[in-house]
Chain A
Amino acid sequence: KQEVTQIPAALSVPEGENLVLNCSFTDSAIYNLQWFRQDPGKGLTSLLLIQSSQREQTSGRLNASLDKSSGRSTLYIAASQPGDSATYLCAVSRWTYKYIFGTGTRLKVLA
Protein backbone atom coordinates (compact mmCIF):
# COMPACT_ATOMS: atom_id res chain seq x y z
CA LYS A 1 0.00 0.00 0.00
CA GLN A 2 1.40 3.37 -1.06
CA GLU A 3 2.26 5.70 1.79
CA VAL A 4 3.31 9.30 1.25
CA THR A 5 5.11 11.24 3.95
CA GLN A 6 6.15 14.87 4.05
CA ILE A 7 8.87 16.34 6.22
CA PRO A 8 8.86 18.69 7.99
CA ALA A 9 5.23 18.83 9.15
CA ALA A 10 5.58 22.54 9.84
CA LEU A 11 8.15 25.16 8.92
CA SER A 12 8.56 28.81 9.82
CA VAL A 13 11.13 30.91 7.97
CA PRO A 14 11.96 34.60 7.56
CA GLU A 15 11.09 36.28 4.29
CA GLY A 16 13.67 35.90 1.55
CA GLU A 17 14.96 32.48 2.55
CA ASN A 18 15.28 29.65 0.07
CA LEU A 19 13.65 26.50 1.37
CA VAL A 20 13.13 22.83 0.53
CA LEU A 21 10.09 20.71 1.25
CA ASN A 22 10.39 16.95 1.13
CA CYS A 23 8.03 14.21 0.00
CA SER A 24 8.72 10.47 0.34
CA PHE A 25 6.68 7.59 -1.07
CA THR A 26 7.03 3.87 -0.40
CA ASP A 27 6.10 2.44 -3.83
CA SER A 28 8.30 3.76 -6.62
CA ALA A 29 5.94 2.49 -9.36
CA ILE A 30 4.23 5.83 -9.82
CA TYR A 31 2.90 7.46 -12.96
CA ASN A 32 3.19 11.05 -11.87
CA LEU A 33 3.58 13.28 -8.84
CA GLN A 34 1.93 16.63 -8.19
CA TRP A 35 2.68 19.38 -5.74
CA PHE A 36 -0.25 21.45 -4.47
CA ARG A 37 -0.70 24.37 -2.14
CA GLN A 38 -3.75 24.82 0.06
CA ASP A 39 -4.72 27.98 1.90
CA PRO A 40 -6.69 27.51 5.15
CA GLY A 41 -10.23 26.30 4.50
CA LYS A 42 -9.77 26.49 0.73
CA GLY A 43 -9.38 24.12 -2.18
CA LEU A 44 -6.07 22.92 -3.60
CA THR A 45 -4.08 24.68 -6.30
CA SER A 46 -1.77 22.60 -8.44
CA LEU A 47 1.76 24.01 -8.54
CA LEU A 48 3.77 21.49 -10.53
CA LEU A 49 3.21 18.07 -12.07
CA ILE A 50 6.13 15.73 -12.78
CA GLN A 51 5.67 12.69 -15.00
CA SER A 52 7.55 9.58 -13.92
CA SER A 53 9.88 9.93 -16.91
CA GLN A 54 10.88 13.47 -15.86
CA ARG A 55 13.44 14.54 -13.30
CA GLU A 56 12.23 18.06 -12.54
CA GLN A 57 9.79 20.81 -13.36
CA THR A 58 10.10 24.54 -12.83
CA SER A 59 7.57 27.33 -12.54
CA GLY A 60 8.75 30.78 -11.50
CA ARG A 61 10.35 30.55 -8.06
CA LEU A 62 9.36 26.90 -7.70
CA ASN A 63 11.36 23.87 -8.71
CA ALA A 64 10.26 20.30 -8.09
CA SER A 65 12.51 17.29 -8.53
CA LEU A 66 11.69 13.61 -8.64
CA ASP A 67 13.89 10.61 -7.85
CA LYS A 68 11.65 7.60 -8.45
CA SER A 69 14.22 4.99 -7.50
CA SER A 70 14.67 6.43 -4.04
CA GLY A 71 10.99 7.35 -3.63
CA ARG A 72 11.62 11.04 -3.10
CA SER A 73 10.55 14.41 -4.40
CA THR A 74 11.55 17.87 -3.28
CA LEU A 75 9.92 21.24 -3.78
CA TYR A 76 12.36 24.12 -3.77
CA ILE A 77 10.99 27.62 -3.14
CA ALA A 78 13.38 30.46 -3.90
CA ALA A 79 13.27 33.83 -2.15
CA SER A 80 10.24 33.00 -0.03
CA GLN A 81 7.52 35.63 0.51
CA PRO A 82 4.74 35.97 3.12
CA GLY A 83 2.26 35.12 0.33
CA ASP A 84 3.86 31.68 0.10
CA SER A 85 2.43 30.83 3.54
CA ALA A 86 0.15 27.83 3.07
CA THR A 87 0.07 24.06 3.42
CA TYR A 88 1.99 22.25 0.69
CA LEU A 89 0.86 18.77 -0.31
CA CYS A 90 2.41 16.25 -2.64
CA ALA A 91 0.33 13.53 -4.28
CA VAL A 92 1.33 10.45 -6.30
CA SER A 93 -0.70 8.40 -8.76
CA ARG A 94 -0.14 4.95 -10.21
CA TRP A 95 -2.30 3.12 -12.74
CA THR A 96 -5.71 4.55 -11.96
CA TYR A 97 -7.18 7.92 -11.21
CA LYS A 98 -6.27 7.39 -7.58
CA TYR A 99 -4.03 10.02 -6.10
CA ILE A 100 -2.52 9.38 -2.67
CA PHE A 101 -1.80 12.59 -0.81
CA GLY A 102 1.04 13.21 1.58
CA THR A 103 0.62 14.44 5.11
CA GLY A 104 1.46 18.04 4.15
CA THR A 105 3.91 20.72 5.28
CA ARG A 106 2.49 23.87 6.87
CA LEU A 107 4.72 26.76 5.82
CA LYS A 108 4.77 30.18 7.44
CA VAL A 109 6.95 32.90 5.94
CA LEU A 110 7.52 35.76 8.35
CA ALA A 111 7.68 39.34 7.07
Chain B
Amino acid sequence: DTEVTQTPKHLVMGMTNKKSLKCEQHMGHRAMYWYKQKAKKPPELMFVYSYEKLSINESVPSRFSPECPNSSLLNLHLHALQPEDSALYLCASSQPRLAERTTTDTQYFGPGTRLTVL
Protein backbone atom coordinates (compact mmCIF):
# COMPACT_ATOMS: atom_id res chain seq x y z
CA ASP B 1 0.00 0.00 0.00
CA THR B 2 1.73 3.17 -1.22
CA GLU B 3 -1.15 5.48 -0.50
CA VAL B 4 -1.45 8.59 1.59
CA THR B 5 -5.06 9.51 2.31
CA GLN B 6 -6.38 12.92 3.29
CA THR B 7 -9.78 13.96 4.59
CA PRO B 8 -11.80 15.90 3.84
CA LYS B 9 -11.27 16.50 0.12
CA HIS B 10 -12.89 19.91 0.32
CA LEU B 11 -13.49 22.20 3.29
CA VAL B 12 -15.24 25.56 3.50
CA MET B 13 -14.99 27.39 6.79
CA GLY B 14 -15.62 30.79 8.27
CA MET B 15 -12.96 32.82 10.00
CA THR B 16 -14.33 31.94 13.45
CA ASN B 17 -14.58 28.19 12.87
CA LYS B 18 -12.35 25.45 14.21
CA LYS B 19 -11.69 22.52 11.90
CA SER B 20 -9.11 19.79 11.39
CA LEU B 21 -7.44 18.20 8.39
CA LYS B 22 -6.44 14.55 8.63
CA CYS B 23 -3.75 12.54 6.92
CA GLU B 24 -3.02 8.82 7.17
CA GLN B 25 -0.40 6.46 5.77
CA HIS B 26 0.30 2.79 6.38
CA MET B 27 3.67 2.47 4.66
CA GLY B 28 5.59 2.51 7.93
CA HIS B 29 7.07 5.89 7.10
CA ARG B 30 8.36 7.83 10.08
CA ALA B 31 8.50 11.32 8.52
CA MET B 32 5.30 13.17 7.70
CA TYR B 33 4.85 16.62 6.20
CA TRP B 34 2.30 19.37 5.72
CA TYR B 35 2.59 21.61 2.68
CA LYS B 36 0.51 24.57 1.56
CA GLN B 37 0.04 25.22 -2.14
CA LYS B 38 -1.56 28.29 -3.66
CA ALA B 39 -2.85 28.23 -7.23
CA LYS B 40 -0.11 28.00 -9.89
CA LYS B 41 2.60 28.04 -7.19
CA PRO B 42 4.87 25.26 -5.91
CA PRO B 43 4.15 23.61 -2.55
CA GLU B 44 5.57 25.40 0.50
CA LEU B 45 6.67 23.36 3.48
CA MET B 46 4.80 24.09 6.71
CA PHE B 47 5.68 21.34 9.20
CA VAL B 48 7.67 18.13 9.39
CA TYR B 49 7.26 15.38 11.98
CA SER B 50 10.01 12.84 12.38
CA TYR B 51 9.35 9.84 14.62
CA GLU B 52 6.24 11.63 15.91
CA LYS B 53 8.22 14.68 17.03
CA LEU B 54 7.94 18.09 15.42
CA SER B 55 11.17 18.50 13.50
CA ILE B 56 10.53 21.57 11.36
CA ASN B 57 8.13 24.49 11.76
CA GLU B 58 8.57 26.94 8.94
CA SER B 59 7.44 29.96 10.98
CA VAL B 60 3.81 29.08 10.38
CA PRO B 61 1.21 31.29 12.16
CA SER B 62 -0.18 29.79 15.36
CA ARG B 63 -3.65 29.55 13.84
CA PHE B 64 -2.27 26.36 12.25
CA SER B 65 -1.55 23.69 14.86
CA PRO B 66 -0.10 20.32 13.80
CA GLU B 67 -0.46 17.09 15.72
CA CYS B 68 1.01 13.63 15.19
CA PRO B 69 -0.87 11.24 17.50
CA ASN B 70 0.93 8.15 16.18
CA SER B 71 3.24 7.04 13.41
CA SER B 72 0.40 6.67 10.88
CA LEU B 73 -1.62 9.80 11.52
CA LEU B 74 -1.02 13.51 11.06
CA ASN B 75 -3.53 16.22 11.82
CA LEU B 76 -3.61 19.94 11.11
CA HIS B 77 -5.91 21.90 13.42
CA LEU B 78 -7.24 25.15 12.05
CA HIS B 79 -8.58 28.08 14.06
CA ALA B 80 -9.35 31.71 13.23
CA LEU B 81 -8.06 31.43 9.68
CA GLN B 82 -7.92 34.28 7.22
CA PRO B 83 -9.18 34.29 3.61
CA GLU B 84 -5.56 34.30 2.40
CA ASP B 85 -5.16 30.87 4.01
CA SER B 86 -7.36 29.42 1.28
CA ALA B 87 -5.21 26.89 -0.57
CA LEU B 88 -4.60 23.22 -1.30
CA TYR B 89 -3.11 21.55 1.79
CA LEU B 90 -0.97 18.56 0.98
CA CYS B 91 0.27 15.84 3.28
CA ALA B 92 3.29 13.68 2.44
CA SER B 93 5.34 10.94 4.04
CA SER B 94 8.77 9.42 3.59
CA GLN B 95 11.19 7.12 5.35
CA PRO B 96 13.94 9.19 7.01
CA ARG B 97 17.54 8.14 7.45
CA LEU B 98 17.82 9.23 11.07
CA ALA B 99 21.58 9.01 11.34
CA GLU B 100 22.15 11.64 8.68
CA ARG B 101 18.97 13.59 9.41
CA THR B 102 17.99 13.54 5.78
CA THR B 103 15.31 11.93 3.73
CA THR B 104 16.69 9.43 1.31
CA ASP B 105 13.53 7.98 -0.07
CA THR B 106 10.68 9.15 -2.20
CA GLN B 107 8.08 11.47 -0.77
CA TYR B 108 4.56 10.13 -1.19
CA PHE B 109 1.86 12.77 -1.38
CA GLY B 110 -1.82 12.59 -0.60
CA PRO B 111 -4.44 14.10 -2.93
CA GLY B 112 -4.80 17.21 -0.78
CA THR B 113 -7.57 19.10 0.95
CA ARG B 114 -8.92 22.11 -0.89
CA LEU B 115 -9.58 24.70 1.84
CA THR B 116 -11.68 27.81 1.32
CA VAL B 117 -11.90 30.41 4.10
CA LEU B 118 -14.80 32.80 3.82
Give the B-binding residues of A (Cβ under 8 A).
Answer: 31-32, 34, 36, 41-46, 49, 51, 89, 91, 93-99, 101-104
Contacts and interface: CB of A to CB of B under 8 A. Distances in A.
A96 B109 contact: no
Given A97-B48, A102-B42, A42 B112 contact: yes
Contacts of B48: 96-98
B96 A43 contact: no
A101 B56 contact: no
B109 A43 contact: yes
B90 A44 contact: yes
A97 B109 contact: no
Nearest to A51: B104
B118 to A, nearest CB: 19
A91 B103 CA distance: 12
A44 B96 contact: no
A96 B106 contact: no
A42 B109 CA distance: 10
A49 B42 contact: no
